[in-house]
Chains A and B, each alone.
Chain A
Amino acid sequence: MKKMNRIERIETGIPGLNELTEGGIPSGTLNILAGHCGTGKSTFAMQFLYYGAKEKNEPGVYISLEEQPEEVLENFDRFNWDLEDLIKKKKLSIIKFELHKFDSLKQVIGDEINRIGAKRLVIDPFSLITAYFNNVYDTRKALSDLAREIRTFNCTTLAITDLKEGEQSFSSTGFEEFVVSGVISLDLILKKDSNSFIRTILIRKMARTNHSLKLVPLEIGSDGISLYPDAEVF
């Protein structure tokens, strides 16, 4: 007898992603969103929060480790997203966290999640946390502890990982991808014959999901990111 698939999944709001992931990301999981600069990671992450808050009544928290909330908002000016309205309605929260206070990060995230009843969380960039530690052991331990803690929040989480040009792994330490449930990889592929880049997405790992392993083209338009699961990359 065929087993029923009872895994609760959340729709990301990224058109085309459901088709690659059996209907969405498993609810409450921690997932890495990895990519080089310009691949659309922050846009993907904010679209995920925007859709949840706007369409699903699932409030979201955006923890920025680099930019002030105003700067984060400015980055998404070009999209047709009324983010400030969602902030006023306590459906969205953008927080700048100072990394030198790392020990209080879990507390800050937990408090903000409780304040607005968040179901979605973004940490941008998760990879910056590695800069706080002096050695590999401390980094791994801290990331592992943080990942465990984040899971207890029962929020579906996207942890953004910035990759250096030419880097082939999905995280700066080569470790994070093993402590998370999912790895979504965004990329820019150079087409030498046309001297242009193509944006792509690959679901590299997603626990409890029979996900696609196809490299899928994506576009960024005025409504955000759209994936084209039926299209091929040429």
Chain B
Amino acid sequence: MNNGKKLPFEERLEKEFKDLPEGWIILLETGAEDALKISLAAIKILTNKNYNGIILSASRPCSNLFNVYEKNNIDIKKIFIIDCICKTQNSGIKDSENVIYLAAASALTNIAIAISKAIEKIKGNKFIFIDSITTMLIHNKPDVFARFTHSILTKMRMNGVGGILICLENETNKEVRAEIAQLCDKVIKIGSRMQA
């Protein structure tokens, strides 16, 4: 992120995230090399709006995510991470109020339970951030993952919890992508090099 001046993609996200209705769900489609920047920008905008973020991470361990968030001035007190990496590697596990460690990105039942626990535990406005559908699909069969996503999104809607699902453009199973897109309120295609 640059010094104070917002980049075009940040401005676009701010505009898209303005006046969100309760229980909004957004599919963010971006390129692989832009995914981190876009994710950080989205999380920063929402935490600045006083949302608490529940991050389902299948791509980076929680310690790395917390570091990156801090470097990008994201208030980590508003972040709760469901970490599907550390236990798989059997490293980096520390007792923390803000992290649930799960055995694998394929442990969908446990992920669903962890999301329910996090929704219950975290008070106030909150959103669930799934990072990313593309990575989750490496570890799960498309039909099972689609069923899982449907169940999670339904739970989010019933609890008035917002959601952002990150999806890598052209690298995600088309059927699953289409299935998920129709469950979302908005699909935003965005890259970090977009022009104002």
Contacts and interface: CB of A to CB of B under 8 A. Distances in A.
Interface of A: 191, 193-194, 196, 198, 217, 219, 228, 230-234
Interface string B25-64: 0000000000000000000000000000000000000000
A76 B68 CA distance: 41
B109 interface: yes
Interface stretch (B74-82, B126-134, B141-149, B183-191): B141-149
Interface in B105-122: 106-110, 112-113, 116
Nearest to B144: A234
A198 B140 contact: no
Contacts of B147: 232, 234
Contact of A232 (B103, B104, B140, B151): B151
A219 B113 contact: yes
Contact of A217 (B104, B109, B141, B144): B109
A200 to B, nearest CB: 9
The 3 closest A-B pairs by CB, nearest first: A194-B106, A234-B108, A231-B112
Contact of A231 (B103, B109, B144): B109
Contacts of B148: 232, 234
Contact of A196 (B104, B140, B144, B151): B104
B103 A234 contact: no
Interface string B85-102: 000000000000000000
A171 B185 CA distance: 50
Contact of B113 (A194, A196, A217): A217
A198 B109 contact: yes
A228 B107 contact: no
Contacts of A230: 116, 155
Interface residues of B, number: 18
A228 B116 CA distance: 9
A196 B112 contact: no
Given A231-B112, A232-B112, A234-B112, A193 B107 contact: no
8 contacts: A191-B109, A193-B139, A193-B140, A194-B103, A217-B112, A217-B113, A230-B155, A234-B109
Contacts of B110: 198, 217, 219
B3 to A, nearest CB: 44
B107 A231 contact: no
Contacts of A234: 108-109, 112, 144, 147-148, 151
A233 to B, nearest CB: 5
Contacts of A196: 103-104, 106-107
Contacts of B116: 228, 230-231
Contacts of A194: 103-104, 106-107, 139
A232 B109 contact: yes
Nearest to A230: B116
Contacts of A198: 107, 109-110
Given A194-B139, A198-B109, 8 more contacts: A193-B140, A193-B144, A194-B104, A194-B106, A228-B112, A228-B116, A232-B109, A234-B112
Nearest to A233: B109
Nearest to A232: B151
A191 B147 CA distance: 15
Interface in B166-186: none
Nearest to A228: B113
B149 to A, nearest CB: 10
Contacts of B106: 191, 193-194, 196
Contacts of A191: 106-107, 109
